[in-house]
Amino acid sequence: MALMLEDARSSYVFKLYRLEEGGGLKELGIKLRITKVGEGEGACTAYALEFDARWREFFKQELEVAIKAAEVVGGVCPWRTASPTWGAGLTPTWR
C-alpha cells in the first residue's frame, strides 16, 4: 500500500495505491482526506475515506447502514462535518 499526496490546500488528500511487482503502482480508487474541523479548543481532526463509484457499489449496503446509524445518533449528538455529502446519492441528514 502506498499513499501519494494529491492536494494540501484546505485539507490533506492522499490517493491510495497498491504496489505492483516490479515497483509499479496501481491506483485503488480510494482517497484519504484529513481535515481540521472547528477552531480553538473545540477543534479536531477528521479522517475520511472517499471511494470511487466501484467501491461505493461494493460497499453500498454497509454505507446505507452507516448513514442510518448516523441519522439516529445525529438526533442525540451534535454532528459537525467537513463534507456532508458521501457521494453516489448517499446524503446523510446532519442535525
Backbone angles phi, psi at 11, to 5 degrees: -155, 170
DSSP secondary structure code for residue 75 in this structure: T
Q: CA–CA separation, 7 vs 22, rounded Å?
A: 27
- pLDDT, tens digit, 9 for 90 and up, residues 44-91: 888 888 889 999 899 899 888 988 887 887 666 555 544 444 444 444
Q: How far apart are CA 60 and CA 14, in angstroms?
A: 23
Q: What is the pTM of this model?
A: 0.62
- The angle formed by the CA atoms of residues 78, 48 and 6, to the nearest 5 degrees, is 140
Measuring CA to CA, which residue among 60, 62, 2 is closest to residue 28? 2
